[in-house]
């Protein structure tokens, strides 16, 4: 029995206690499966740190590491209205609950090693919804962005809002500008909110921009390639413009009109959970699935 004591103490100190702390920090139930996932996250981050060291000192490592961590996660926030209906709440209450989940989950994603989190918050097609619902959504966005600026600064989260701003109400635009200006110097954590965004609009505006540059002699037509196109898209605000993993909640298996160009090589994950119920435990499931795909098919570098 005494010989087992050092083993038990080692397990508690090195595995169980750290996992208990992290599970409480990330609001993840402490189970054997989640302990294994948390350990894999830590191991993957160590692998990436080793890879960076190898590059710094000029040593040769494996080109692809197993269990690579996504740097850019995109999420389609789907299911707010269905969630509200299920609980007998108003549509506005459903949207408010969905927006409240944004910052807490984004912080957890950043803690796990993600650099960029993109949220499909309001698509161009959403303008076809009832006027009262749109008015409430714009007000919720405005209050959220304005109220959370101190939190964004405290956690050093850079905020970018992409999309067509022509139809966005002025009070919301003011909050967006304030948040972007207050957080523009941060680099390691980047939260992108897509409001009045569509993939078609993004591609069209990029084509117009490149056509204008070609017309003015700034760029030659022959110079236009995928890299040039990437830089002309609205996601050029991020160090990692193309998402590694895209999650659409609610179970619908389509990306609609989100990141049509950027998601060409993205892994797509469709959990059935509605967005306001999406937790860090659900993300860990998505991450485990992503890493299995990573090992099986390989990833772009």
Both tokens of 231, joined, read 């830089």
What's the DSSP call for residue 163?
S
Contact 119, 75 (CB under 8 A): yes
For residue 244, give the nearest of 276, 196, 186, 286 by alpha carbon.
286
CB atoms within 10 A of CB 169: 14
* 78 included as an active-site residue: yes
Of the candidates 134, 6, 86, 49, the residue with the CA atom closest to the CA atom of residue 274: 86
Catalytic residue among 78, 108, 196, 244: 78
Give all strands (DSSP E) within 44-188, no chain letters: 72-76, 116-123, 157-162
Question: 122: closest CA among 199, 231, 195, 25?
Answer: 195
Q: Which residue has the tokens 């609001």?
A: 27
Q: What counts of helices (H) and strands (E) characterise the chain?
A: 10, 6
Beta bridge mates, 133: none
> Strand 189-197 vs strand 116-123: parallel, antiparallel, or unpaired?
parallel
Strand ranges in the chain using DSSP code E only, listed in sequence order: 72-76, 116-123, 157-162, 189-197, 245-248, 267-269
* Beta-sheet strand order (sheet of 267-269): 157-162, 189-197, 116-123, 72-76, 245-248, 267-269
Q: Which helix (H) or strand (E) holds 177?
A: helix 170-183
Residues annotated as catalytic are 78
């Amino acid at each position: 029995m005494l010989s087992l004591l050092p083993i038990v103490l080692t397990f508690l100190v090195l595995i169980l206690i750290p996992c208990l702390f992290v599970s409480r920090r990330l609001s993840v139930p402490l189970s054997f499966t989640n302990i294994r996932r948390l350990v894999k996250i830590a191991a993957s981050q160590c692998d990436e740190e080793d890879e960076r060291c190898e590059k710094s000192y000029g040593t040769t490592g494996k080109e692809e590491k197993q269990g690579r961590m996504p740097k850019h996660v995109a999420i389609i926030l789907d299911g707010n209205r269905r969630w509200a209906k299920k609980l007998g709440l108003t549509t506005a209450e459903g949207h408010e609950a969905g927006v409240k989940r944004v910052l807490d989950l984004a912080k957890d994603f950043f803690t796990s090693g993600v650099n960029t989190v993109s949220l499909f918050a309001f698509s161009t097609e959403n303008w076809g919804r009832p006027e009262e619902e749109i008015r409430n959504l714009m007000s919720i966005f405005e209050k959220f962005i304005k109220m959370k600026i101190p939190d964004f600064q405290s956690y050093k989260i850079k905020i970018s809002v992409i999309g067509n701003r022509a139809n966005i109400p002025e009070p919301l635009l003011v909050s967006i500008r304030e948040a972007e200006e207050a957080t523009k110097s941060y680099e390691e954590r980047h939260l992108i909110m897509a409001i009045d965004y569509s993939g078609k609009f993004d591609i069209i505006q990029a084509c117009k921009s490149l056509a204008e540059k070609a017309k003015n002699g700034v760029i030659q037509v022959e110079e236009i390639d995928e890299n040039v196109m990437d830089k002309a898209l609205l996601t050029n605000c991020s160090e990692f413009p193309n998402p590694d993993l895209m999650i659409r909640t609610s179970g619908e298996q389509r990306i609609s009109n989100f990141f049509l160009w950027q998601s060409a090589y993205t892994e797509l994950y469709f959990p059935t959970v509605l967005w306001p119920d999406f937790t860090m435990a659900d993300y860990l499931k998505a991450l485990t699935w992503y890493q299995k795909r990573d090992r099986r098919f390989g990833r772009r570098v």
